[in-house]
Amino acid sequence: MSPLHSTPDGEGTDPPRSVPTSEPDTTPFESWDRPRTAWLLPGRCRTPRRRTLLLEATSRALFPTILVFSIYLLLVGHYGPGGGFSAGLVAGLAFVLRYLAGGSTDPGAVITIRPPVLMGVGLTISVLTALTPMLFGAPVLATAKLTVRVPLLGDLGVVTSLFLDVGVYLLIIGVVLDLLRALGSGIERDMRAAGEPI
């Protein structure tokens, strides 16, 4: 079970974390954004003074809903309004919401993959999808419709451009997470290092 859906059984047991210090942060660049603790989980309380309980509670409910909606957008993209880009942005907005609710405390903690890797994997999937038709003697970026027989649901038509969209989806999520990291928690980290109040 994902930590997102765990029950709030340990409320208030953890001490407040991320105490601002004036000591310079010595974590090397390559690893400063590695997730260290869970984030926005029930029971993990930020500095109570900065806490927005309403937003936190709402975002806990909204976050999975928005993600499901983004996957819907990703899947219908070939026939209706949607597609990898808009789906990725919607999913990215879900993370932005979590960032707004959870503050600078480890925005990457939900996804344990680092954002650049997510971008790279997405781009790799997209480019490989674009190149694959060459193997079948078709022009680059050509699409085909595959039919998959699924028990109970019947025949499902999958257009190969869906794989391109999946790549774009991952890429955009990676970009949004990277922005949150660089222009969100990164700046707050700089401010902490400089001893300024956040």
Contact residues for other proteins, defined by CB under 8 A = 25, 29-30, 81, 85, 114, 116-117, 119-124, 127-128, 130-131, 134, 137-143, 179, 182-183, 187, 190, 193
CB of 107 to other proteins, least distance (A): 16
CB of 140 to other proteins, least distance (A): 4
* Residue 73 token pair: 């957008």
Unique residue bearing structure tokens 């078709």: 138
In the complex with other proteins, the residue whose CB is nearer, 45 or 193, is 193
CB of 44 to other proteins, least distance (A): 27
In the complex with other proteins, the residue whose CB is nearer, 40 or 170, is 170
Measuring CA to CA, which residue among 101, 100, 113, 103 is closest to residue 191?
103
In the complex with other proteins, the residue whose CB is nearer, 41 or 87, is 87
Q: Are 107 and 94 in contact (CB under 8 A)?
A: no
In the complex with other proteins, the residue whose CB is nearer, 33 or 56, is 33
Measuring CA to CA, which residue among 178, 177, 188 is closest to residue 98?
177
Taking CA atoms, 169 is separated from 10, 112, 113, 123, 174, in Å, by 35, 17, 15, 9, 9
CB of 30 to other proteins, least distance (A): 7
